[in-house]
Chain A
């Protein structure tokens, strides 16, 4: 059986609170590459190294990276076309 190393967006809920300013795992985000809409908690996340990489579960495009910088956590946005907070 394969032993995938990724986790999901739930695992970086704390980091997302740092960079977005609030609870974000239930927020929906849209992939700029394929248009798939998913809860941020359901994104495919690779942890470790200098940052946590969040990918689209449908097409694997990197949507954003959260990184711990000296002055605080930084969010690198690459292919997240929109985010909608839960009402």
Chain B
């Protein structure tokens, strides 16, 4: 799969540690929600390193948006979050992935469970669902440490208000704003029991986040009786790439 040179056309600060990069990729073939790209950086001495980043938006011509969280001491993410400027070039290849993908217009409801920046590929699914006005019932459960660290918070609040059939549930595990009435602990069996669709609805489940988070959520969903082959998972390691 060949590498292409993309150009940064816009930068969106999502949280203190997270930034979205809107990239123009000539001859982009289009993509499916859930897919990712590989990004490659080359140092002056020729040293190369690459990382995978989920695409945050549905297909839109040659524009591809990725959302990147700064990993302290990371090789790639600090550059993408703090240094990259509009107009800069960025080497990437994609789209990649055929397992952790979803297309609007299925007949089964969707359960999306995100830990931290694991919300990125799930946001592509929600944005595709909104754009297609397909009516698929969607429940999104997001776990984050604090209100300030919720990625896409305002857009998700608006979507939940304006879109029938899409609901968003947050849990804030470390600190909560005054008056917070939502969950305040890590996702567990009890939360999933309340949020997940009833078993007879046979939901498609997508779980994305740090590896430990994904393991916990996926096994809890199986314990609740969801079919293992209806649960798709994507793990990004101990703290992301």
A2-B212, A4-B212 known; A10 vs B99 contact (CB < 8 Å): yes
A13→B32 CA distance, assembly (Å): 14
> Are A1 and B233 interface neighbours, CB within 8 A?
no
> Is residue B198 contacting chain A, with contact meaning CB distance below 8 A?
no
Chain B 1-27: CB-based contact to A (< 8 A → 1; otherwise 0): 100000000000000000000000000
A5-B238, A6-B211, A14-B93 known; A40 vs B99 contact (CB < 8 Å): yes
Interface of B, secondary structure class, is mixed
B219 CB → nearest A CB, Å: 12
List residues of B whose CB falls within 8 A of some A CB.
1, 36, 38, 50, 52, 93-94, 96-101, 186, 210-212, 215, 232-238
B60 CB → nearest A CB, Å: 21
> Are B238 and A25 interface neighbours, CB within 8 A?
no
> Is residue A84 contacting chain B, with contact meaning CB distance below 8 A?
no
Chain A 1-32: CB-based contact to B (< 8 A → 1; otherwise 0): 11111111111011001100001111100000
A40→B238 CA distance, assembly (Å): 20
A40→B237 CA distance, assembly (Å): 17
> Are A26 and B211 interface neighbours, CB within 8 A?
no
> Are A41 and B99 interface neighbours, CB within 8 A?
yes
Chain A 65-87: CB-based contact to B (< 8 A → 1; otherwise 0): 00000000000000000000010
A10→B236 CA distance, assembly (Å): 9
Which one, B210, B215, B234, B238, contacts A10 given CB within 8 A? Answer: B234
A1-B212, A4-B212, A17-B1 known; A11 vs B236 contact (CB < 8 Å): yes
- Across the interface, which residues of B come within 8 angstroms of A9, CB to CB? 99
A23→B100 CA distance, assembly (Å): 12
Query: 9 other contacts beyond A7-B211, A17-B96, A26-B101, with CB at 8 A cut-off?
Result: A1-B186, A2-B212, A3-B210, A4-B212, A6-B211, A10-B234, A11-B237, A14-B50, A14-B96
